[in-house]
Chain A
């Protein structure tokens, strides 16, 4: 079975500070990994995805994530937070073969203060 664990239900940063949202996965087969963002009262939007190519993945809005197999991690980072980054972020995993059903983490709400 696959699962993801997101450490911290809330993360607070100041505008301009580094954003680090943590995600660890568990998978018995090589996984695909995803980060989604959800703005208030909206659906989920894909930020970036790891699909066994480059381990450092760049996404939209200046976000990136690094796949570290030895640490079973896929942490999301952004060098400088912007007020518009305030949202909820979900890490998700799926197997890379067969039916690719997404399994989501519990989410991390990012708060950005001026």
Chain B
């Protein structure tokens, strides 16, 4: 099984550019999440979705947007890249409610210069 797939794995952006980080899961999970990981800071929740058409902000949503048009896909959009968005981004998914395990993608390492 593919699980959670993120693309690209690496990207360098210039300040002010925009890009979309892609995330797809093939487990028919209702819940999907975007986290960013910064050294010594753990993982911070950017946005999450409880199902197609439903999204909500996490702890650090500023500078990002998301959409959830299908159960499988949960892309993260950066509109005007800033150096503060240099980070490793992880997408995750799990089943609705219950104590179910969250499955993580391999991550996207983004550098904004």
Contact = CB atoms under 8 A, between A and B. Distances in A.
A101 B99 contact: no
Contacts of B41: 106
Contacts, number: 50
Contacts of A106: 40-42
A101 B45 contact: yes
Interface of B is mostly: strand
Interface stretch (A14-22, A37-45, A66-74, A75-83): A37-45
Contacts of B101: 46, 49
Contact of A90 (B33, B43, B44, B99): B43
Interface magnitude class on chain B: 20 to 34
A32 B98 CA distance: 10
A49 B100 CA distance: 9
Interface of A: 9, 32, 41-46, 49, 51, 90, 96, 99-107
